[in-house]
Amino acid sequence: MDSPLSVPPAFDRRAWPMDGRLDFWTAPDGWPLRRYRLGDGQRGQLLMLGGRGDMIEKYLEVIAHWASQGWAVTAFDWRGQGGSGRVGADPLCGHIEDFAQWVSDLEAFVADWRAQSTGPCVIIAHSMGGHLLLRALAEGMPPPDAAVAVAPMMGVHTAPLPRWLAVLIARTMCALGRSGRQAWTQKENSDRQRAMRQKRLTHDPERYADELWWRDHSRDVALGAPSWRWVVEALRSTFMLERSGKLERIAVPLLILATKADRLVSTPAIRRIAARIPGARLHVYGPEAAHEILREIDPVRLDALRRIDAFLDEAAGP
Mean per-residue pLDDT, 40-52: 96
Question: Does residue 139 surpass a pLDDT of 80?
Answer: yes
Q: Grade residue 4 by pLDDT with cuts at 50, 70 and 90.
A: very low
21-316 topology per CATH: Rossmann fold (3.40.50)
How far apart, in whole angstroms, are the C-alpha atoms of residue 49 and residue 123?
8
pLDDT band at 263 (very low <50, low <70, confident <90, very high): very high
Q: Is the pLDDT of residue 225 over 90?
A: yes
Distance CA 44, CA 103 (A): 23
CB-based contact 191:279 (threshold 8 Å)? no
Model pLDDT for residues 147-197, shown as the tens digit of each residue: 999 999 999 999 999 999 999 999 999 999 999 999 988 777 777 888 889
Give the Cα separation of 219 and 263 in Å (integer). Answer: 27
- According to the model, what pLDDT value does residue 9 have? 61
Per-residue model confidence (pLDDT) at position 317? 81
Band of residue 117 on the pLDDT scale cut at 50, 70, 90: confident
pLDDT of 7 strictly over 80: no
Q: Provide the whole-model pTM.
A: 0.95
Residue of 96, 63, 134, 130 lying closest to 223 (CA atoms): 96
Residue ranges covered by each domain of the chain: 21-316
d(Cα 194, Cα 216) in Å, to the nearest integer? 14
- Length of the chain, please? 318
Q: For the chain, first and last CA: distance in Å?
A: 38
